[in-house]
Amino acid sequence: MRRRRIQTLEPRGTTRELAHRVARIALLLQAADALDPLLDRIGDARYVLLGEASHGTAEYYQWRARISQRLIREKGFSFIAVEGDWPDCYRVNRYVNGLPDAGSDAREVLDSFDRWPTWMWANKEIVSLAEWLHRHNAGLAQDKRVGFFGLDVYSLWDSLYAVLGYLRKADPSLLPAAHRALRCFQPYGEDVQQYARATALVPTSCEDEVVTLLKELRGKEPRYRADGREEFFTAEQNALVVKNAEAYYRAMVRGGPESWNIRDRHMTETLERLMRHHGPDAKAIVWEHNTHIGDARFTDMADDGMVNVGQLVRERHAAEGVFLVGFGSHRGGVIAARDWEAPMERMPVPPARDGSWEDILHRAGAADKLLLLEDVRDDDDFLTERGHRAIGVVYHPEYEHLGNYVPTVLPRRYDAFCYLDETRALHPLHLRPAPDKVPETFPWGVQRSKRPREEGTTMLFRDRREAGRFLARHLMHYADQPDVLVLALPRGGVPVAYEVARALHAPFDVFLVRKLGLPGHEELAMGAIASGGVRVLNDDVVRALGISEDVIATVAAEELAELERRERAYRGHRPAPDVRGKTVILIDDGLATGSTMRAAVAALRQQGPARIVVAVPVGAPETCAEFQAEADEAICARTPDPFYAVGLWYRDFSQTTDEEVRDLLDQAAAQAAATRDRLAV
């Protein structure tokens, strides 16, 4: 959802009169058969869209699950599509369909949802629904099983890696197109907000690369579909996500309604693709926030030039049957955060604002109720625009009266409305936030306790020290060689490299790299500076922006001072190692895009080592393959596919501290001194 500005509304008629009218038409939402009238009104509709007034309320999830289960059992609905990322939700789809190596239970699968705010889908309510779907599908023919899919657009990197993984197996001839797209994004790491800001500064983008990738993939559709219809559909969807995500992030920095509209059009396009994929008799259940499924034409969103999924599906598929169900409550509790990326909290939801739809429904009787709005669609008393509460993942209950109400004509925005007088916060699986996970732009991340598997075995390290011991096994051919030097990229690479150096009986130190950020737009890298004062420039950025040598020199001097300060803090008065003529093993805790490692290799090369070996415990397969050409040797001990992110392959991926770096360097220096003393005797 989006933040809404406050509107001062002056409804016609008194709230008391309207509350009496509501009381007469409302149906109690309590007994087991309370949903019968709703199912009757839904009839033969092929699209049923179920909303929510927050992303953190237990009852919204529970009632949507009850409605969904009845639609599946009694009306043969084909799948549930949610406001979530395609790659994450597809793992749930694999589990509920009982596919091989899909996970031992729903909780294990949902624990891997690690984009903030994970509580949207990594919660006990969704575990219950996923287990129900798993049981329902058991014993059914494959084409009768019910799926679970994500509609959203945020998973640019995960989807791009998934496309690379598919092409490596299905058609390596298309890998160059995928690698061009990957390389285009690599200067920005995995920070799509940095990419978006950069495109606002420089008249360039990765649009051509991602459009070409999707076009080439679709150009071989007949062959791919013959090899595996489901696999191609998933790869094509990931390529579509990459294309639309790139457009979304570019639009985001320009402001206005365009980014919202790109996102909701993408979700609608994905829904329509799923319907075609499931055949002419397919039926869809959609779970999204009210701001997405409630028809935007009957809110102030229309005044802002915004469209949404509910509006688009009604406009395109009214003849096939479309039914929109909104949700709301008067008061209660919710899971939300106070800022982007902030820890989740259980927060109170205060009583609804006077004169709002939630206030009217409460005055009509403090009980859960169902409104079938077709009965009052042309009733003037109900056609007044009133505030309708909308809570997002960021929420300040003490200020909600200033901005959490969307002006709404309720009987036109929805076909039915489920009112739950007092609600509770949902039950997240994760108990504490993960600082290593941040959103791409939408606020999604908290700690998980389990990780994915590879080939049926647990595929993770306990921590960086264990990862270092594992990596050392792959480097034993360098053991006890006098010309070998192990260098770590601080800070995460230090515990890994320490264990490698111990196993190889090799000296150990750090190699620092600092980004040279464009003044005023520091997130845009002009280049990098490394230990020894070596400077490497991003020539494309320098040329495109016409950056002068004076600007580069000024920034380089500032960053060099910081780099030298850190080197002194890390190694004290010990001199930096001499790498000339040495075999240098350059180590980090993992490779995702490899942008930092790439800068380090380029800088280190200028200092004259005989050989550079890049070594990591875990890395993205395509990135590891690229380093085979960029270094003299590249060793990635594990290359899981799909890769997703470095932190996903560690149980403990907490940040390495400066103190830990100093301690490990001191220990290594002491051990080296002791060895020299023994040899001198």
Residue-wise pLDDT for 542-555, tens only, equals 777 788 888 888 88
Question: How many structural domains is the chain composed of?
Answer: 3
Looking at 448, 476, 511, the residue that finishes a domain is: 448
- Domain of residue 10, CATH code: 3.40.1660.10
Enter the pTM of the model.
Answer: 0.67
Does the pLDDT at position 183 exceed 90?
Answer: no
Provide the percentage of residues in the chain whose pLDDT is more than 70: 89
Q: Do 483 and 623 fall within a single domain?
A: yes
Farthest-apart Cα atoms in the chain, separation:
100
Provide the pairing of β-strand 322-336 with 416-423: parallel
Lowest mean pLDDT among 75-89, 130-144, 664-678: 664-678
Q: Do 516 and 426 fall within a single domain?
A: no
Summary mean pLDDT of the chain: 86
Give the closest residue to 642 by CA, choosing from 165, 113, 16, 287.
165
Measured CA angle at 595 (ends 594, 599), to 5 deg: 115
pLDDT digits over 620-643, tens only? 888 898 898 889 999 999 988 777
Q: Quick one: pLDDT at residue 520? A: 67
Does the pLDDT at position 587 exceed 70?
Answer: yes
Q: Quick one: pLDDT at residue 674? A: 56
Q: Do 412 and 526 fall within a single domain?
A: no
> Residue 461 — φ and ψ, nearest 5°?
-105, 150
8 A C-beta contact, residue 590 and residue 618:
yes
Residue 676 lies in a domain: yes
Residue 49 lies in a domain: yes
Residue 93 lies in a domain: yes
Looking at 448, 468, 491, the residue that finishes a domain is: 448
The CA distance from 356 to 77, in Å, is: 34
Q: Across residues 253-282, what is the average pLDDT?
A: 93
Lowest mean pLDDT among 400-404, 464-468, 675-679: 675-679
Q: Quick one: pLDDT at residue 454? A: 37
Q: Quick one: pLDDT at residue 525? A: 66
DSSP 8-state secondary structure symbol assigned to residue 12:
S
The CA distance from 618 to 640, in Å, is: 8
Q: What is the CA radius of gyration of the chain?
A: 28
Residue 266 lies in a domain: no
pLDDT category of residue 256 using cuts at 50, 70 and 90: confident
Residue with tokens 């070594």: 615
For the sheet with 484-488, list strands across it.
Answer: 508-510, 484-488, 583-587, 611-618, 633-638
Q: Quick one: pLDDT at residue 253? A: 74
Q: Quick one: pLDDT at residue 56? A: 96
Provide the percentage of residues in the chain whose pLDDT is more than 90: 52
pLDDT category of residue 251 using cuts at 50, 70 and 90: confident
Residue 423 corresponds to which tokens in the numbers above? 């609600």
Residue 676 corresponds to which tokens in the numbers above? 């020299």
- Domain of residue 638, CATH code: 3.40.50.2020
Give the closest residue to 499 by CA, choosing from 461, 473, 460, 481.
473
8 A C-beta contact, residue 373 and residue 416:
yes
Q: Quick one: pLDDT at residue 340? A: 78
CB atoms within 10 A of CB 348: 12
Lowest mean pLDDT among 54-68, 268-282, 428-442: 428-442
Q: Kindly report the three-state secondary structure assignment for every residue of 186-199.
A: HHHCCCHHHHHHHH
Does the pLDDT at position 439 exceed 50?
Answer: no
Lowest mean pLDDT among 15-19, 78-82, 324-328, 656-660: 656-660
Q: Do 635 and 531 fall within a single domain?
A: yes
Residue 276 lies in a domain: no
pLDDT digits over 93-123, tens only? 999 999 988 888 999 999 888 778 889 999 9
Q: Do 76 and 14 fall within a single domain?
A: yes
Q: Do 116 and 182 fall within a single domain?
A: no
Does the pLDDT at position 355 exceed 90?
Answer: yes
Q: Do 582 and 623 fall within a single domain?
A: yes
CB-based burial label for 75 (10 Å; 0-12, 13-18, 19+): middle
Residues 6+ apart with CB under 8 A from 36: none
Q: Quick one: pLDDT at residue 50? A: 98
Does the pLDDT at position 437 exceed 60?
Answer: no
Residues 6+ apart with CB under 8 A from 229: none
375 alpha-carbon distance from chain centroid: 41
Does the pLDDT at position 446 exceed 90?
Answer: no
pLDDT category of residue 441 using cuts at 50, 70 and 90: very low
Looking at 235, 256, 277, the residue that finishes a domain is: 256
Q: Across residues 51-78, what is the average pLDDT?
A: 97
Give the closest residue to 410 by CA, choosing from 379, 389, 386, 381.
386
Does the pLDDT at position 279 exceed 70?
Answer: yes
Range of the domain at 35: 1-151+288-448
What's the Cα-to-Cα distance from 209 to each of 205, 262, 429, rounded to whole Å? 9, 18, 38
Lowest mean pLDDT among 333-337, 380-384, 447-451: 447-451
Q: Do 485 and 498 fall within a single domain?
A: yes
pLDDT category of residue 289 using cuts at 50, 70 and 90: very high
Give the closest residue to 521 by CA, choosing from 483, 555, 561, 486.
555
Residues 6+ apart with CB under 8 A from 246: 156, 205, 206, 207, 210
Residue 268 lies in a domain: no
pLDDT digits over 362-417, tens only? 999 989 999 999 999 999 889 999 999 999 999 999 988 778 999 999 999 999 99
The CA distance from 219 to 227, in Å, is: 15
The CA distance from 678 to 658, in Å, is: 31
Q: Do 374 and 511 fall within a single domain?
A: no
CB-based burial label for 138 (10 Å; 0-12, 13-18, 19+): exposed
Provide the pairing of β-strand 284-287 with 79-82: parallel
pLDDT category of residue 676 using cuts at 50, 70 and 90: low
Residue 232 corresponds to which tokens in the numbers above? 């191609």
pLDDT category of residue 284 using cuts at 50, 70 and 90: very high
Residue 337 corresponds to which tokens in the numbers above? 């955060």
Q: Do 213 and 316 fall within a single domain?
A: no
pLDDT digits over 500-544, tens only? 999 899 999 999 888 787 776 665 667 788 876 778 787 767 777
Lowest mean pLDDT among 179-188, 285-294, 378-387, 489-498: 179-188
Residue 280 lies in a domain: no
Q: Do 556 and 613 fall within a single domain?
A: yes
Residue with tokens 């230990």: 531
Residue 270 lies in a domain: no
The CA distance from 11 to 136, in Å, is: 47
Q: Do 72 and 212 fall within a single domain?
A: no
Does the pLDDT at position 317 exceed 90?
Answer: yes
Size of the chain in residues: 681
Does the pLDDT at position 3 exceed 50?
Answer: no
